[in-house]
Amino acid sequence: MKIIFHPAHSVGKADRMLYGHFLEHFHRQVYGGVYDPTSRFADEEGFRTDVLEALRRIKPPIIRWPGGCYVSAYDWKLGVGKERLPNFDKAWRVEESNEFGTDEFIKFCRKLDCEPYICTNAGTGTPEQMSDWVEYCNLENMGRFARERIANGSEKPHAVKFWSIGNENWGEHEIGSWSAEQWGSLVRESAKMMLRVDPTLELSAAALDDLDWNLNLLRTAGKYLDWISIHGYWDGSPDGYRHADYNTVMLRTGERISDKIDFVRAVLTACGLEKQIKIAFDEWNLRGWHHPNIIDIWEREPKRREDKKFYEENVIAARNCNDINATYTMADAVFSAAFLNTCLRNCDIVGMACFSPVVNTRGAIFTHKDGIVLRPQYFVFELYANLLKETVLDTWSECVPVLTGEDGGKAVTVDAVDVAITYGAGEYAAAVVNKDPEKEQTVQFSMLEGAAKEMRIHTLNGPSVDAYNDIGQTQVGITVSEWVPFEGSIRFAPHSVNVVELR
For residue 100, give the DSSP letter: S
Task: Decide: 121 and 73 in contact? Cβ < 8 Å.
Answer: yes
55-110 pLDDT, tens digit per residue, is 999 999 999 999 999 999 999 999 999 999 999 999 999 999 999 999 999 999 99
130-184 pLDDT, tens digit per residue, is 999 999 999 999 999 999 999 999 999 999 999 999 999 999 999 999 999 999 9
Sequence-distant (6+) residues with CB within 8 A of 323 are: 27, 28, 360, 361, 366
| Pairwise CA distance, residues 169 & 503, whole Å | 48
Band of pLDDT at residue 30, cut at 50, 70 and 90: very high
* pLDDT recorded at residue 157: 98
* pLDDT recorded at residue 97: 98
The answer to whether residue 294 scores a pLDDT higher than 80 is no
Cis peptide bond upstream of 376, omega within 30: no
Sequence-distant (6+) residues with CB within 8 A of 407 are: 248, 251, 252
| Pairwise CA distance, residues 129 & 193, whole Å | 10
Band of pLDDT at residue 222, cut at 50, 70 and 90: very high
Instruction: State how beta strands 350-355 and 20-22 pair.
Output: parallel
Instruction: State how beta strands 62-65 and 484-485 pair.
Output: unpaired
164-176 burial code (b ≥16 CB/10 A, e <16): bbbbbbbeeebbb
The answer to whether residue 284 scores a pLDDT higher than 90 is yes
Band of pLDDT at residue 301, cut at 50, 70 and 90: confident
The answer to whether residue 235 scores a pLDDT higher than 80 is yes
* pLDDT recorded at residue 302: 82
* pLDDT recorded at residue 300: 81
Please compute the mean of the pLDDT values over residues 365-380 and round it to a whole number. Answer: 98
Query: Superfamily assignment of 391-502 in CATH?
Result: Golgi alpha-mannosidase II (2.60.40.1180)
Band of pLDDT at residue 454, cut at 50, 70 and 90: very high
347 to 84, 342, 474: CA distances (angstroms)? 42, 9, 34
Using only C-alpha atoms, the chain has a radius of gyration, in whole angstroms, of 23
The stretches of 346-468 forming alpha helices (DSSP H) are 376-387
| Pairwise CA distance, residues 447 & 397, whole Å | 12
* pLDDT recorded at residue 388: 98
* pLDDT recorded at residue 311: 84
Instruction: State how beta strands 115-120 and 162-165 pair.
Output: parallel
Task: Output the DSSP codes for 233-296.
Answer: EEE--SSSS----HHHHHTTSSHHHHHHHHHHHHHHHHTT-TTT-EEEEEEEEEEPP----HHH
Sequence-distant (6+) residues with CB within 8 A of 93 are: 294, 315, 316
**Mean pLDDT of the residues in the chain:** 96
Among 444, 434, 435, smallest CA distance to 492 is for 434
The answer to whether residue 479 scores a pLDDT higher than 80 is yes
Return the amino acid letter for 420: A
* pLDDT recorded at residue 451: 86
Band of pLDDT at residue 376, cut at 50, 70 and 90: very high
108 to 102, 103, 105, 115, 284: CA distances (angstroms)? 10, 9, 5, 10, 21
* pLDDT recorded at residue 293: 80
| Pairwise CA distance, residues 414 & 344, whole Å | 18
Residue 451's SS3 state is: coil
* pLDDT recorded at residue 304: 78
Residue 46's SS3 state is: coil
Sequence-distant (6+) residues with CB within 8 A of 161 are: 115, 200, 201, 202
CA atoms within 13 A on the CB side of 304: 15
* pLDDT recorded at residue 310: 84
| Pairwise CA distance, residues 389 & 18, whole Å | 13
Q: Is 68 left (phi over 0), alpha (psi -120 to 50) or beta?
A: left
The answer to whether residue 373 scores a pLDDT higher than 90 is yes
> Quick one: CA torsion of 295, 290, 121, 203, rounded to 10 degrees?
-140
User: Comparing 14-387 with 391-502, is the CATH topology the same?
Assistant: no
| Pairwise CA distance, residues 439 & 407, whole Å | 21
The answer to whether residue 314 scores a pLDDT higher than 90 is no
The stretches of 90-142 forming alpha helices (DSSP H) are 102-112, 127-138
Cα angle at 351 between 456 and 51, to 5 degrees? Answer: 65
For residue 494, give the DSSP letter: T
386-433 pLDDT, tens digit per residue, is 999 999 999 999 999 999 999 999 999 999 999 999 999 999 999 999
246 to 436, 465, 467, 476, 492: CA distances (angstroms)? 10, 7, 11, 15, 18
The answer to whether residue 309 scores a pLDDT higher than 90 is no
Please compute the mean of the pLDDT values over residues 483-490 and round it to a whole number. Answer: 96
* pLDDT recorded at residue 89: 96
Please compute the mean of the pLDDT values over residues 344-371 and round it to a whole number. Answer: 98
* pLDDT recorded at residue 308: 83
The answer to whether residue 207 scores a pLDDT higher than 80 is yes
The answer to whether residue 13 scores a pLDDT higher than 80 is yes
Residue 33's SS3 state is: coil
The answer to whether residue 298 scores a pLDDT higher than 80 is no
* pLDDT recorded at residue 194: 98
* pLDDT recorded at residue 17: 98
Number of neighbours of residue 310 by Cβ within 10 angstroms: 14
- Where along the chain do its domains lie? 14-387, 391-502
| Pairwise CA distance, residues 467 & 475, whole Å | 6
Return the amino acid letter for 39: S
* pLDDT recorded at residue 410: 95
Please compute the mean of the pLDDT values over residues 343-368 and round it to a whole number. Answer: 98
What is the CATH architecture assignment of 14-387? Alpha-Beta Barrel (3.20)
